[in-house]
Chain A
Amino acid sequence: MGSHQDTVGARIGMWLFLYTEIMLFGGLFVLYGAYYRIHAVEFIGTGQELDMVLGCVNTVILLVSSFFVAASVTAVRRNSTKGAMAFLAGAVLLGGLFLLNKYFEWGHKFHLGIYPGSPGLGESPPGRIVFYGLYFTITGLHAFHIVMGMVLLIVCIAMTGLGRIQKERFLLLENCGLYWHLVDLIWIFIFPLFYLIL
């Protein structure tokens, strides 16, 4: 059972898994598209209630974190364990920062009485309710993926420290990195849909 040396195969498996994640969010984007068509005016009006600056900051944070993850792979290739761990730690911290921003953003909305099933939101026009329904569902599910990605990156830090990830053997790091890039990429689609184009 010597399949574990086959890094190409393991990477294929990871890519296949990433496809499933894209299909998962794809279902939500279909919903977004359909509801945007039905409630275009209300969507545009409600979209302006979101804080575009905060959204931009979060986008930059995730892009930089993705760079850090990519840099950690290069560091491992150059045999720099400490560098790799530092880059990964940076990426995890940025992930935390992203979640912190999200916490303030959501907290502010909750404070205004806007959350799924809230009485205040219930009196809004239908398009606004659906917009926030999608907003909380999609960003919530994405935040959950960020948390999972952070767990994976922490595992990678530990494995690098233990010497299980090293110059000749960094498949785990590469695959976890791919996952982090995907989560980043999904945000690149979420950001314009909710913050930018409306």
Chain B
Amino acid sequence: MTSFYHTPFPARFRGVWAWLLTLDHKRIALLYLGAVMFWFIIAIVLGFLVRMELMTPGRTIMGAETYNAAFTLHGVIMIFLFVIPAMPAIFGNFLLPIQIGTDDVFFPKLNLLSWYLYMLGGVLAIVSLFADGPPDTGWTFYVPFSVSTQTNVGLTVTAAFTLGLSSMLTGLNFITTVHRMRVPGMGWLQIPLFTWSLYATAWVQLLATPVLSITLLLVVFERVFGTGLFDPARGGDPVLYQHLFWMYSHPAVYIMILPGMGVISEIIPVFSRKSIFGYKAIVGSSLGIATAGSLVWAHHMFTSGMSDVAVFVFSFLTFIVAIPSAIKVFSWVSTMYKGSILMTPPLFFALCFIYLFSVGGLTGLVLGSAGTNIQVHDTHFVVAHFHFVMFGGTGFSFFAALHFWWPKIFGRMYDFKRAYLSALLIVTGFMLHYVPMFILGLQGMPRRYHDYLEQFAPGNLFAGLGALIMVPGLFLMVINLMMSLKQPVDAPADPWGGTTLEWSVPSPPPLHNFIERPSPGEYPYDFSRVGTP
């Protein structure tokens, strides 16, 4: 059976056009993979430079303006060009149709359009660097600074707008696909958990992104026409900008983490050789996180000025989100209990995820309760919490997904030893990098400052050393995966002994995914259907 690499779709295109004009969801996923990894590496380097600057007090390697631009770009690129699109656009595109037993997404042309919008957003982001200086507002584009600064924020905001549109259209596509294209016989409770998490994510993408779009559009209007909607001198209210911004951007962190949770829900049962504990609870908690997570935005604004009642309500709702998240963590751990665990690189990354995500989630409660929030607001504590959730959570689940589905996507196994070594370097560096930031935050070191007091020097030095261990680990991981591409295609259809439909097709899959209509089982995690690997 020839794989999709050898059968372009539409069939009339050859060479590079077979990629640039393809309507095959698998090829589009790979287009995303290339573009997302490009941005990921750039953002790693920027983050690394920021940390090197902070390694010693005073000027280390760059001045204050460069520093402002570097952390802004690190944030904008990581959020809008890596974390949000990585899971849905790469793995969602590749796997969602296969997991529900169909041949493509519902709107293949819209899918390709989303990729072009993503690329356009990326190009705009690059252009904004060189026209009138790189943006220096931080990724949140808070007014009034984003309206008054001389750097080219307008273009960066337009880039974020375009990327939002791309993400929204992907969500629209996935919802329609899940509703209309499941293979006959697959009911809602036979859908694999990764697809379920993408479905919940897609709703958040669809309903929250337009609010960001309009907010960013208003920033552009402010800058171009001077409408004054957020200018207190002209009757506007800057705090309303923050409300609108977080109305999207808080749900957006669930866009970032939910698919990661889906990945972990796939990996843990496979390597525990045991059916997932609490399938329905995990499905319900995905939907619960998507719903509750959309109602907690103002917990970013406890110090911005709002009524005590509002603070109380938002703080309470924030605590509510912890419940479905904890349900997932307990379900994963319970799945492993008395399972026959087979250690592999994807499982290793998944275990790191559970630990790091739990730390990130628990410190989120420190930030979510109004009293402690005032103490650590806008300090390095927030930076550490955010990176534990987004990097330790989404980042590690992305690495886990890469190692889990790499044989399926490329048909090749990678070197396990180097994979373990890279994972070990990343996680060791990670702890050394971010744990000191919790302490720095509690001591009162603010985020986003170019310089700091002498007393914060040891913590920042440790964080810098952590980066020096972590970044080589990241590069080793990428290089190790790339090296596998030199080998011949050798991975079996089901190298891990998985039960979901993607493991029933050849690696890499053929153009239409299935040779004959697949028959989904009663239950997607029934390990009596497959033998041991």
Binding site for B on A (CB under 8 A): 1, 3, 6, 8-9, 12-13, 16-17, 19-21, 23-28, 30-31, 34-35, 38-39, 42, 116-117, 122, 125-130, 133-134, 136-137, 141
Are A13 and B107 neighbours in the complex by a CB distance under 8 Å?
yes
Of B23, B103, B179, B227, the contact of A9 (CB 8 Å cutoff): B179
Are A34 and B240 neighbours in the complex by a CB distance under 8 Å?
yes
Task: Given A16-B176, A20-B168, A137-B229, verify A1-B104 contact (CB < 8 Å).
Answer: yes
**Alpha-carbon distance A122/B240, docked complex (angstroms):** 21
- Min CB gap A113→B, angstroms: 14
Are A1 and B108 neighbours in the complex by a CB distance under 8 Å?
yes
Most chain A beta-carbon neighbours within 10 Å: one of B23, B168, B179, B235:
B235
Is B215 close to A, CB under 8 A?
Answer: yes
Are A34 and B234 neighbours in the complex by a CB distance under 8 Å?
no
A-contact bits for B172-190, CB 8 A (1 contact / 0 none): 1101100111000000000
Is B317 close to A, CB under 8 A?
Answer: no
**Alpha-carbon distance A19/B176, docked complex (angstroms):** 14
Q: Which 7 A-B pairs have the closest CB atoms?
A: A126-B235, A117-B226, A9-B180, A23-B210, A130-B235, A27-B214, A24-B210
Q: Which of B154-182 contact A (CB under 8 A)?
A: 168, 172-173, 175-176, 179-181
Q: Which residues of B contact A137 (CB under 8 A)?
A: 218, 221, 227, 229
- Min CB gap B520→A, angstroms: 19
Binding site for A on B (CB under 8 A): 23, 103-104, 106-108, 110, 168, 172-173, 175-176, 179-181, 206-211, 213-215, 217-218, 221, 225-229, 233-237, 240, 243-244, 247, 512
Q: Which residues of A contact B207 (CB under 8 A)?
A: 19-20, 23
Q: Is the interface of B mostly helix, strand, loop or mixed?
A: helix
**Alpha-carbon distance A127/B211, docked complex (angstroms):** 24
Most chain B beta-carbon neighbours within 10 Å: one of A17, A129, A136:
A129
Are A116 and B228 neighbours in the complex by a CB distance under 8 Å?
yes
Q: Which residues of B contact A127 (CB under 8 A)?
A: 235
**Alpha-carbon distance A42/B234, docked complex (angstroms):** 13
Task: Given A16-B206, A116-B228, verify A1-B240 contact (CB < 8 Å).
Answer: no
**Alpha-carbon distance A136/B217, docked complex (angstroms):** 13
**Alpha-carbon distance A10/B518, docked complex (angstroms):** 24
Are A3 and B181 neighbours in the complex by a CB distance under 8 Å?
yes
Of A8, A17, A28, A129, the contact of B180 (CB 8 Å cutoff): A8
**Alpha-carbon distance A190/B280, docked complex (angstroms):** 43
Q: Which residues of A contact B237 (CB under 8 A)?
A: 34-35, 38
Are A13 and B235 neighbours in the complex by a CB distance under 8 Å?
no
Task: Given A1-B108, A20-B168, verify A28-B214 contact (CB < 8 Å).
Answer: yes
Q: Which residues of A contact B236 (CB under 8 A)?
A: 35, 126, 130, 133
- Min CB gap A125→B, angstroms: 8
- Can you list 21 A-B pairs with a CB-CB distance of less than 8 A? A1-B23, A1-B103, A8-B180, A9-B179, A16-B172, A16-B175, A20-B168, A20-B207, A20-B209, A21-B210, A25-B214, A27-B214, A27-B215, A27-B244, A30-B243, A31-B244, A34-B240, A42-B235, A117-B226, A128-B235, A137-B221
